[in-house]
Structure 1
Amino acid sequence: MIDPEAILYYADNPVDFVEDIIRAKPDPNQRDILNSIAKYPMTSVRSGHGIGKSAVESWAVIWFLATRPFPKIPCTAPTQHQLWDILWAEIAKWLRSNPVLSNDLIWTREKVYMRGYPEEWFAVARTASKPDALQGFHADHVLYIIDEASGVRDDIFEPVLGALSTEGARLVMCGNPTKITGFFYDSHHKNRAQYSTLHIDGRNSSRVDEEFIRTIIEMFGEDSDVFRVRVAGEFPKALPDSFIAMEWAEKASEGEAPDIERVLRVDIGIDVARYGDDSSVLSPVLDKTVQDQPQVYHHNDTMELAGRAVQAIKAYALAHEWAAIYVKVDCDGLGVGVYDRLAEQKEEIIEAVEVDRASRYEDEDPDKIPPPFHLEVLECHFGGEGGRIADDDPIEYQNSTGLMWGAVREALRTGSLHLWYSDVQISQLSNRKYSVNSSGRIELERKEAMKKRGLSSPDMADALALALHDPVVSDWSLEF
């Protein structure tokens, strides 16, 4: 139990509380945040990634619970993952390592409360999914914690504004500045005078890995929104960025394709047209490094396209006899019919290729005979689950569309892919925009938005993205 006289001191000195009682060492940026919370009713912090904001929020929760009588601390974030797996887990970590605090403050999955007062003296976790998430908290001492505040809808904030009219109520908002509209944005712009605002650039934080910063600069550039949001802690530019730089696509399309002595893998991406003006495209890539000429078809039905795919498979099996062939079909919409037909014919195709080879290699030296023909027909979905291209990638994508296009982007950025020259393909690759969403993930512009800008569906680019994609099992998801 903390000495009552010490509590009176610590109530106005959260940095000393964190150092003396929690036994943590805040860095200068974290000290500024804690001091702002103690001094001002409303604090808004925009920052880059990895500056330790979850830690400072957890310290603020513990400090407020331990130094005020019967406080209430509603905590919210846009997702359960951010709220429970990160913030709430951080609170648990600091309590668990401190017998003095853990004896009095009881941690549960959704609430932290003072022993003996679970309904009157607590912090509670509420995801920001409903307008009433932050309603109904009445006490002399209220502290609202809003994590990843850019992603919280404006209607969630409305009850907070009413509660803040009560003396002793405080608000803390923290997050990557991912949106140029909304409550959090306004707190740093038109409503700035009402807040204590702090800006933390990741380059000025000892907690941010310099390799992370270098990687972001190398991958996206210092003028990109990814750098502005994830490193510099600045709001995005008014206009979104193109996901793939035109100069990368142009450079990859220049000159002759490099020779491959023996192709060991052929990936064929098949994007199936869903609308009258769109095209169906077969995009072959050799050894993930050289794109062969895409095949573009208009106004064909799924059985005709499946037949075209069978022809392509057999042609590449003949031209590159040592290669395994992987066919990736977009199964959103009409593509499922093409996939089903190819899957149905898979063994028949393999048998036809083997019969042809047997006749041509009948009297050949066994060492010169290619291996058994390997064919895979894979189901892909552009609306599937997102994630990282590689385990050490500092950027996550919202869905599999981003992952697929991200693989193309990385190949073009690093110069590891030679493209078949096509002005249409270059235009499609370089005209798609992206944004950094409220979870800090990259989200590509939807096709509907592209069409509103007067652009056609990026069918050639999608087919290329399918060719470079390696689905684990299935990309199926209900997220579109």
Structure 2
Amino acid sequence: MTEAAILSPEEQLVEDIAGFTYDPLGYAHYAFPWGEEGGELAHASGPRQWQAEAFQEIGEHLQNPATRYQPLMLARASGHGIGKSAFISMLIKWGMDTCEDCKVVVTANTENQLRTKTWPEIIKWSNLAITKDWFSTTATAMYSNDPGHDKRWRADAIPWSEHNTEAFAGLHNERKRIIVIFDEASNIADLVWEVAEGALTDEDTEIVWVAFGNPTRNTGRFRECFRKYRHRWKCKQIDSRTVEGTNKEQLQKWVEDYGEDSDFVKVRVRGIFPDASENQFIPSGLTGPAVGRVITEAQVAHAATVIGVDPSHQGKDPAVIYLRKGLHCRKLGEYPRTTDDVWFAKVIADFEDLHQADAVFIDYGYGTGLKSVGDNWGRAWTLIQFGGGTSDPEMANKRGEMYKSARDALKLGAQLDSQDLADELSAPEYKVRLKDSRKILQDKEEVKELLGRSPNNADAYVLTYAFPVVKRQRIPGQREQQGKAITEYDPYA
């Protein structure tokens, strides 16, 4: 070999790393100091088995020209301690090292998780790598030291919010590489998932989207990766007891204390979605089977007909009207927000007359104008304050009381008319108020951020449980005198 052909150590390193462009497992073995005495990885000879399998899956996808430019989406639900953050960190370092101008976005269930756990682990593994001098790291970013590339060749920690989706909406990197990381993905809002999907449209681009976490919630997009969207996601559920390096003694104590089939063990050990999220008030195990359940008219002929109205006067949230008759329900309509109380009151009155409703309950928040119009027409509509008092000793307010009544009805076999309604009913979690041990549900804004939409369907539906309603006796040909008055009023005549 001539002197000119001899590569410097740095040039040799660049050539070696380039050889792992489509081989993340080979890169992981090469780039990190496994088994090095006195080092942080002295105890290990390489990635754990599940990590190696995931790296192989990514490598096989990219090595195949037929799949290379199709988005690869990996979802892993697992118990505690399996090394999710280590895998994420190695994946990011491989992606950055082996593709010029690679773009990475990392988010997590909370900003605290992202700042104090996920990102520090990424920095740690970056510093362990043989290529640690190739990139600079800060508290929120990793970027190339190659002059002129620091804005394009980078990884960023982005806290998610339904009001801060720009970083995901702008995640494009055509003909290069994109890596999207969702850590502790169960509690990332559906809207963020939807916006992130916009990054999957770039042509001739290597795209890897990884969603990992403990399966703490049995609703939401992470859950649906393993169910509704399983045809698009490559999913695995990992039992912590099968993974090298986990604390088997502690895991076994949990199994003995709580039971193999308990939700606690399912989430923290087995990597299985629970029957009910830890603090879920209405379990998905109740709402799921209720969707599509058939309740015939004959079965509810004896029951009162109740209408619930959730108005909307601001933002993009729609107004929703629901009808319930015993265990049967159906959505009567959804309308863009409006300040025209007369028009919307006419819509409600028409439904009341058409279905011979025995009661109409309207959310107090934006319903006062509707109530006033209805009073002028002789309608006996009732305003309900979600934050108002309750006689139920278990719940902290009227909202909780109504959700509890809906839950009780589902236990009796109530039917739900859509998956959207089911998801919204199961979304709120609860906490126990210290001063009186009553349960209080997450407020509407928190649920809205989690779902990526306002739970107007659920609120309109639970309004039908505001108070017990008795079916009124109606005499054919006789106009109603109690509860409401028939009116021929046309607001636009």
Counterparts in 2 of 1:386-465, with a 5 A limit? 401=432
Q: Which residue of 1 aligns with 2:156?
A: 124
1:146 and 2:182 matched: yes
1:182 and 2:220 matched: yes
1:10 and 2:44 matched: no
Q: Which residue of 2 aligns with 1:341?
A: none
Q: Which residue of 1 aligns with 2:51?
A: 30
Give the 3 Å change call, closer, same or farther, for CA 54–278 of structure 1 in structure 2.
same
1:277 and 2:307 matched: no
Using the alignment, how far apart are the partners of 1:70 and 1:93 within structure 2? 22
Give the 3 Å change call, closer, same or farther, for CA 92–279 of structure 1 in structure 2.
closer
TM-score by length of 1: 0.50
Counterparts in 2 of 1:58-457, with a 5 A limit? 58-98=89-129, 100-115=130-145, 116=147, 117-129=149-161, 130-139=164-173, 140-166=176-202, 167-237=205-275, 277=391, 401=432
SS of corresponding position for 1:198:
strand
Q: Which residue of 1 aligns with 2:316?
A: none
Give the 3 Å change call, closer, same or farther, for CA 96–217 of structure 1 in structure 2.
same
How many residue pairs were aligned?
A: 274
CA contact (8 A) 2:432 2:440 kept: no
CA contact (8 A) 1:64 1:71 kept: yes
Query: Deviation string for 1:178-231 (max 9, x for gaps)?
Result: 222222122111221212222211111123212321232233222211111111
Q: Which residue of 1 aligns with 2:43?
A: none
Q: Which residue of 1 aligns with 2:481?
A: none
**RMSD, aligned CA:** 3.9
Using the alignment, how far apart are the partners of 2:278 and 2:132 within structure 1? 47
Using the alignment, how far apart are the partners of 2:256 and 2:435 within structure 1? 20
CA contact (8 A) 1:37 1:172 kept: no
Using the alignment, how far apart are the partners of 1:215 and 1:402 within structure 2? 30
SS of corresponding position for 2:76:
strand
CA contact (8 A) 1:18 1:59 kept: yes
Using the alignment, how far apart are the partners of 1:16 and 1:163 within structure 2? 27
TM-score by length of 2: 0.49
CA contact (8 A) 2:170 2:199 kept: no
Q: Which residue of 2 aligns with 1:46?
A: 77
| Runs ≥4 residues deviating over 6 A | 239-243, 402-405
CA contact (8 A) 1:132 1:156 kept: no
Give the superposition deviation at 1:102: 2.2
CA contact (8 A) 1:36 1:43 kept: no
Q: Which runs of 5+ in 1 are unaligned?
A: 244-273, 281-331, 334-397, 406-427, 440-447, 455-480
SS of corresponding position for 1:208:
coil
SS of corresponding position for 2:131:
helix
More deviation in 152-161 or 31-40? 31-40
SS of corresponding position for 1:134:
helix
Q: Which runs of 5+ in 2 are unaligned?
A: 1-9, 35-45, 62-71, 282-387, 398-428, 442-446, 451-458, 466-493
Using the alignment, how far apart are the partners of 1:19 and 1:186 within structure 2? 33
Percent of matched pairs sharing the same residue: 29
CA contact (8 A) 1:106 1:113 kept: yes
Amino acid at match of 1:27: R
Amino acid at match of 2:153: W
CA contact (8 A) 1:110 1:124 kept: yes
